[in-house]
Every structure is written in structure tokens, then in C-alpha cells.
Structure 1
Amino acid sequence: MLKQFFIFCSGADTRILDSCSPGEQTKYAGIGATVFFTAVLAFIASSYALYTVFDNYFTAVIFGFIWGLLIFNLDRFIVSTIKKKNNFRSELLQATPRIILAVIIAIVIAKPLELKIFEKEINQVLLEQKNDMTLANQEQIATRFSPKITALNTEIASLKEEVTAKEAEVNALYNTYIAEAEGTAGTQRLGKGPVYAEKRQKHDAELLALKELKETNAGKIETAQATIASINQEYQGKVSESQPVIDGFDGLMARINALGKLPLLPSLFIMFLFLAIETSPIIAKLLSPKGAYDLKLEEEENALQTWVSQQMQQRELILKTDAGVNNKVYADIAEEQELYDYKRKRARELMQLQADAFYMKQKQILG
């Protein structure tokens, strides 16, 4: 039962193959098994590739099964259409387009399985790419908010410097009136005289102005800091909104690009393995000697070609003979006087009718 199924997979004519030796049947069963298992690998590979796209097991399995059937049909067609001849160069030329197609199929099958085999390494590459993209995204978003934050920080620093300068001025006035009272500066008279009172009054006025300045600038600084906090919150919101896009950067194309960043040699070995599997039925047919099945198939095809050629030749002879008979018949009839008189009479009547019609038309025109 299994042998018959694999023979069916090979695309061989079971009616002819049943009359061949068991060895010939085993050869085609082996070719059919290769075709079948190649289709199974195509189903597995495409299912995994489609799962990375749709993220749904049911959808991936359904479309993977359809893809596997397509590969099975193509391989079966390729193997079944290669005809064994006595000239290897002619056979190779005949199989070249099919080998090219087999190479394309092998590459298509191998790539998804490479993605699965090197999944951990690909995930590591994707993680590094996601981290780089996250940093780049944060920097890109920050360029929209950094100028505002920088301006506000500059404003805060300016307000603080203004308070510091005012404090220094008030401290200087304090030292001035203290020195006047101690007699170490100014009038250099010990005691609190009129000059001391004047300097003390000026200091107190500036101290009050400093207090008002601190309160005013503190309010401005608090407002600026609140604005900075709001901007930072908006920045974090933008980063959070764009982060899911980066986290979802693990589709089929992203994985293929990540695979391209890995060492090339392991991927080449896997591709060559599937290339050997995919082309093995074709290579087996090319290298195998011409067997009983090929001879019987060629005999049937030649018999059919001979029969078709005979039928075409017979139809050509019938047509040629019938044309000769018709020519002879019409030549004999043309010599009969009765036929001549009859056609002469009809021709005269036709010319009379034409003359009458022309006369009536001219009469109508002339009125």
C-alpha cells in the first residue's frame, strides 16, 4: 500500500510500471518518497513562516497545507515530465529548466526552516535592534521637547541668579551699616549716628525688596518646573505610544534581515541540504540507466506518434484524391452543350434585367 502511494507520488504510469520488474518499481517508489517528504518539509516550513506573519496556528496550518500541496504537485510534474533518452546531454538540457525551478523551490523551503533553527540567535539580533531603535526613538522624540525644557531651565537659572545677586547686594548693605556702627568704615565714628540710620534704612528697604523678589521668582520657578514636569509626562506618553511598534518588530522580513546578519556558512549548509533533497529525484532520473519502464513508455509514445502520422497521411491522401475527382467531374460537365445553352439563356435574362433597371433609374433622374 505504501509502495503504491510512493509510486503515485513519482508520477509514473502505474499501468506500465505494474508490468515491470520489482526493482524498477522500487526505483520509482524511492523517487516518489523523495517527492512526498519534500512536500512535507515545505508544509512545515511554510506553516512556521506564515505563523510569524499571522500569529495564528489555524491560518498558518491551512495555508501551509495548501503550499505543501503546491510543492508536491510541482515536484511530481517535474519528475514525471523528464523522459529518458540515449543522449545524456539532451537529457540534461531537457532537465535544466526543471533543475532551476527545483533550486528556487529549495530556497523557498529552506529559508523558513533556517529561521526556526536559528530562532534564538535571531531573537538576540532582534533584541539588539529593538534596543537601538528604542534609544533612537527616544532621541528623536526628545528633539521635539528638548528646546522647551532647555529654555525653561535657562529661565529658572536666571531667576535664581537674580535672587542670588540681590542677596549679595543686601549682604553688602548690611556689612556697610554694621561697619558704620562699629566705626571701621564710612565716617569711622563709633555709634549709630545719622549716617548709620541712613544706611540701615537703605538696607532694610533692599531686604524687603529681596523678600518680594524671592516670593515672585519662587512662583515663576514653580510654574516653570510644573511646565517641565508636564512636558516630561507628554514625552513619556509619546515614547509609550511608539514603543509597541518597536516591540512588534519581529515579523517575517525583520527575521530574514536578522538572519542575514548571522554567519553565512551555517545557512549555506542548510540551503545546500534542501537543494540536494529537492533536486535528488531529478538527479536520480538523470543518472539512472534507461529501464524497462522507460522503454515501454517510449514504445507506447512511438506507437501513438506512428498512428497519428498514419491518420494524417491518410487524410491528406483522401483530400488529394477527392480534389482530383472533383476537378475531373467539373471538366467533363464543362464540355456538355446542354449546360452551355442553359447558362447562356440565364445570362441573357440577367443582362436584360440589368438594362431595364438602368433605364428606369435614368428615367427617374431626368424626371
Structure 2
Amino acid sequence: MSADAPARPAVLPAVHRPVRRVRPGMLLSPLRRLIGVDEELLERVPQERARYTWYGAIVLNTALLGGASMALAFATVRDELPVPVVVSVGVVWFWVVLALDAWLVSGTHGVLSRGRLKSLLPRLALSLLVGLTIAEPLLLQIFDKEIHQQTAAGNTRDADAYRGMLVSCNPPDGADTTTRAGCGGYQLNVPGSPASVHRQIQDTTARATALQAQLQSLHKTLSAKQDAERRECDDPAKWIYGANGRHDVGDTCLRARADADDYRRTSNISTYESELATLTEQSRTLTAKEASAGATYRPALDRAIAAKTRDHAAHLDDSGLLTRANALGEVAWSDWYAGFVAVVLHLLLLAVDALPVLVKLMSPSTAYDRLLTAQLDATRRLHTADLHLHHASTAVLHEADLHEATRTAAARMSRLDHGLRLEQAERTAEFRAELEMRAARILRGAP
């Protein structure tokens, strides 16, 4: 073989193998393709077709169960969502579960008994994790009636406890409870309580008493000034003879009278007397109000407590996921049999959700698995042989290229050496010719 010939043909000759045609009209083949079954290979063992058809149906049913479970969860927890949104969420979750289970199952084909457990345990763990998200909404729906009863009872207990704190922190007499421990945020502002009316009476009485004492002092001072005015103005002996020929009061009387008038004006006695009268009237009104405050305040307080309790009860959560989960826990562990039923149903739903991997784990190696394993081994061997052939061909081509490069380099070096020798010969000839010319000139110039 010449060095220029390729080490291997550009296109390998096709290997003619007998082709097994898949029977047309197999309506259930999409179920098998869903889990990655090779129909051409399955034709070699048609007895396994029913097994893998039902296997694909299990994967599809699990995805449908997951989509329905998520739709129920959203419809229950977020009941304000429109139906198209809930359906869209269910469809998306159905596709997620279907893709995940199909991937989990398609990777288990061809796994023989000796490596089955090691290969399937991680897939089983992932399948159980997905099963938990599917089983919980279904379990909440199964115990929906008991959960609603438990939630309603819990909310009732919460509302009763809240009402009890309101009653305790808002006594019927309206006494102040701001300093009582645990009453922070439970005080109600209901006007007209007997205690507040009594405090108003005390404040009014204290103000009236202080004002009365102040008025007594002012009246005492005013009386002294008025007595001084009378002494200076009522005694004829202190009158003076005026320019009009009549007797009149003197300057001392005028000063005393002006002093009394000025004090009456600047001391605000009239204002204080009017305020004292108003306070006295308010005290009588508040006293009468205190007598009837107990009869009017108690109904108003009861209405305020009832309204506050209704508002608190209206804001209690009865459909949240965590609230329903807590209620399910209380229902499940209320007695041993309820807990047993909850655990059994939970395990059953979890097993159904993890059924695609569990079925593979419980089933022995099938003829399809052995054929697929043999086909994969043959493919690996062919690939290895092809790699060896490719490497050998590459090595031969590399050797040929190296030999060609070596020959080319040697020829080029030979040409370069020949050219160099020619140049040297030319330069030598030119040098000799020059010497001969000079020698001739020297000889011609000799005597």
C-alpha cells in the first residue's frame, strides 16, 4: 500500500442486519415510549409488551394524580383563585411530575439484579420526595370534614379566650387596668363608665373646692378694701368744702374707692364666681349621671366586647395550608386509632406516588432488560473498537504525514545546499578572474 493511500476508507461499508419491523397500529405504544422503551428491541420479546404498557400507564396515572392533587390544594387554600388558574397550575404540575417520573423510569431499563438496588435507591428517594408533595393535599382532602370541625373548634376556643381577656381587662365599673399584667392591647375605649364619671366628679369637686378657697381669699381682700372705702367716704368729719360751695369726699376716699374698684376688676371675681356656679351645676349633673352610668355602660361595654370578638374571629385563618396541617395533626393524634388510620393512608398514598420506581424495584430483571444490557454492551464494544480503529488510522496517517514532511524537508535542504555551492563556485570564479586581471595589469606595467 502506498503512503498516499488513506489508512481507512472514508465511509465504512454498511453492515446489513435483519430488520424487525414493528407491528403497525399499536395504539398503546405511546405509553411505552413515555418510559423510554425501544419498540424495535421490544419486538424481539413481545411477551414483555403488556408489562411495559402497564408500566407506562402507572407513570401516567401518577402524573395525573399529582396534577389533581396540586389543583385541589390550590382550590382549597386559595379559594379566591379563578378556575382557569387552578386548572393551569394542575396541568403544569402534571407535566413536571410526568417528566420527572419518565426520567426516573427510563434510566432503570437494562439494570440487572446485581446492580438494581444501588441504582434504584437514589431514584426511590427522589420519587418519595415528590410523593410527599402529592400525598399531602390528597390527605387533607380525605380528612376535610374533620379538619374543618377541628379548625372551627380551635377558632372558637381562640375567640372565647380573646373574649375572656376583653372581659377581664374591661371590668363593668370601668376601672383602669393599664397596669395589669397581660392586659396590654385588650383595653376598650367605651365612654360613660362609672369609674370615668366618678373621676370626673372628683376632678370637678377638687376644682370647685380650690376655686371656692380662692374666691374666699379674694372676697376677704375685697371686703377689707371696701371697709377702708367706707371709713374714708362715709365719715362727714373727713369731707372737705369744695369750690362749688358744697361738701364732698376727699382725695383719700377717692383713692380708696378707686383701689376697691380696680381690685374687683383685676381679680376676676365675677369670672371665678361664674365658673364656680358652672362647676357646681356640672357636679350635680355628673352625680345624677353616676347613678345611671351602671345601667347604660354595661350594655355598651357588652356590645363593644361582642364587636371586638367578632372582628377577631373574622380574621382567624381557617383555610391556610399550615392551619389545615396543624388541624390534621390534632385530629390524627386525638386517639390511637385515628393516628393509625392517618399513618396508613399516608403510607398508602406515598406508596402510590412512588409506584413507578417501586414497581421496578420489586420486579425481577426482564428479558427486555437483558437484551437492552447486551445491546448497550455491544454498542460500547463497537464504540471501543471504532475508537481503536480511529486511533490506529490516525497514527498511520500521522506516520505518513511525518514521513512526507521528512522527505520534503530533506529535498528542500538538498536544494538549498546545491544553490549554496553554486553561489560559492560563482564567487570563486569571479575572484580568480579578478586576480588574473590584476596580474595582467601588473605584468603590462612592468619595464
Give the TM-score taking structure 2 as reference length: 0.56
* One-letter amino acid of the structure 1 residue matched with residue 101 of structure 2: D
Q: 284-293 or 128-137, which moves further after superposition?
A: 284-293
* One-letter amino acid of the structure 2 residue matched with residue 302 of structure 1: D
* One-letter amino acid of the structure 1 residue matched with residue 324 of structure 2: R
**235 and 276 in structure 1: CA distance in 2 versus 1, 3 angstrom threshold:** closer
Q: Mapping of 1:30-179 within 5 angstroms?
A: 30-55=54-79, 56=81, 57-86=83-112, 88-139=113-164, 149-151=174-176, 152-154=193-195
2:381 paired residue among 294, 306, 329: 306
Cα distance in 1 for residues equivalent to 2:346 and 2:159? 34
* One-letter amino acid of the structure 1 residue matched with residue 319 of structure 2: D
Q: Mapping of 1:270-289 within 5 angstroms?
A: 270-289=345-364
Cα distance in 1 for residues equivalent to 2:352 and 2:292? 73
Query: Is residue 315 from structure 1 mapped to residue 390 from structure 2 by the alignment?
Result: yes
* Alpha-carbon distance, 1:312 to partner: 2.1
Q: Give the number of the structure whose alpha-carbon radius of gyration is greater.
A: 2
* One-letter amino acid of the structure 1 residue matched with residue 122 of structure 2: P
Structure 1 unaligned spans of 5+: 162-210, 344-367
* One-letter amino acid of the structure 2 residue matched with residue 244 of structure 1: A
Query: Is residue 244 from structure 1 mapped to residue 314 from structure 2 by the alignment?
Result: yes
Cα distance in 2 for residues equivalent to 1:12 and 1:159? 91
1:291 paired residue among 363, 366, 371: 366
Higher helix share: 1
* Alpha-carbon distance, 1:254 to partner: 1.0
Q: Mapping of 1:180-329 within 5 angstroms?
A: 215-219=285-289, 236-246=306-316, 248-263=317-332, 264-329=339-404
* One-letter amino acid of the structure 1 residue matched with residue 159 of structure 2: T
Does structure 2 retain, via aligned residues, the 8 Å contact 1:126–1:258? yes
Does structure 2 retain, via aligned residues, the 8 Å contact 1:82–1:95? yes
Does structure 2 retain, via aligned residues, the 8 Å contact 1:83–1:91? no
Does structure 2 retain, via aligned residues, the 8 Å contact 1:35–1:281? yes
Q: SS at the partner of 2:389?
A: helix
User: What is the root-mean-square deviation of aligned Cα atoms in Å?
Assistant: 3.7
* One-letter amino acid of the structure 2 residue matched with residue 20 of structure 1: V
Q: SS at the partner of 1:83?
A: coil
**225 and 158 in structure 1: CA distance in 2 versus 1, 3 angstrom threshold:** farther
* Alpha-carbon distance, 1:232 to partner: 6.1
Q: Which residue of 2 aligns with 1:338?
A: 415
Q: SS at the partner of 1:36?
A: helix
Does structure 1 retain, via aligned residues, the 8 Å contact 2:198–2:290? no
**212 and 100 in structure 1: CA distance in 2 versus 1, 3 angstrom threshold:** closer
Cα distance in 2 for residues equivalent to 1:50 and 1:261? 22
**229 and 289 in structure 1: CA distance in 2 versus 1, 3 angstrom threshold:** closer
1:297-319 CA-partner distances (Å, limit 9, x unpaired)? 23432333233223322332233
* One-letter amino acid of the structure 2 residue matched with residue 11 of structure 1: G
1:159-214 CA-partner distances (Å, limit 9, x unpaired)? 999xxxxxxxxxxxxxxxxxxxxxxxxxxxxxxxxxxxxxxxxxxxxxxxxx9976
Structure 2 unaligned spans of 5+: 1-25, 177-192, 203-280, 333-338, 421-447
1:307-358 CA-partner distances (Å, limit 9, x unpaired)? 3223322332233233333433444444424346889xxxxxxxxxxxxxxx
Cα distance in 1 for residues equivalent to 2:139 and 2:298? 49
**147 and 312 in structure 1: CA distance in 2 versus 1, 3 angstrom threshold:** farther
* One-letter amino acid of the structure 2 residue matched with residue 70 of structure 1: V
When the two structures are aligned, how many residues end up with a matched partner? Answer: 292
2:39 paired residue among 14, 26, 38: 14
Q: Which residue of 1 aligns with 2:53?
A: 29
1:2-55 CA-partner distances (Å, limit 9, x unpaired)? 64344344432223223422x311111221222222222222222211111221
* Alpha-carbon distance, 1:102 to partner: 1.6
Q: SS at the partner of 1:111?
A: helix
* One-letter amino acid of the structure 1 residue matched with residue 331 of structure 2: L
**140 and 307 in structure 1: CA distance in 2 versus 1, 3 angstrom threshold:** farther
Cα distance in 1 for residues equivalent to 2:286 and 2:375? 108
**148 and 73 in structure 1: CA distance in 2 versus 1, 3 angstrom threshold:** farther
Cα distance in 2 for residues equivalent to 1:67 and 1:228? 57
**4 and 137 in structure 1: CA distance in 2 versus 1, 3 angstrom threshold:** same
Does structure 1 retain, via aligned residues, the 8 Å contact 2:174–2:196? no
**342 and 257 in structure 1: CA distance in 2 versus 1, 3 angstrom threshold:** farther
Q: SS at the partner of 2:37?
A: coil
1:238-257 CA-partner distances (Å, limit 9, x unpaired)? 444443211x4322221111
Cα distance in 1 for residues equivalent to 2:330 and 2:171? 35
Cα distance in 1 for residues equivalent to 2:282 and 2:368? 110
* One-letter amino acid of the structure 1 residue matched with residue 135 of structure 2: A
**83 and 7 in structure 1: CA distance in 2 versus 1, 3 angstrom threshold:** closer
Cα distance in 2 for residues equivalent to 1:223 and 1:147? 10
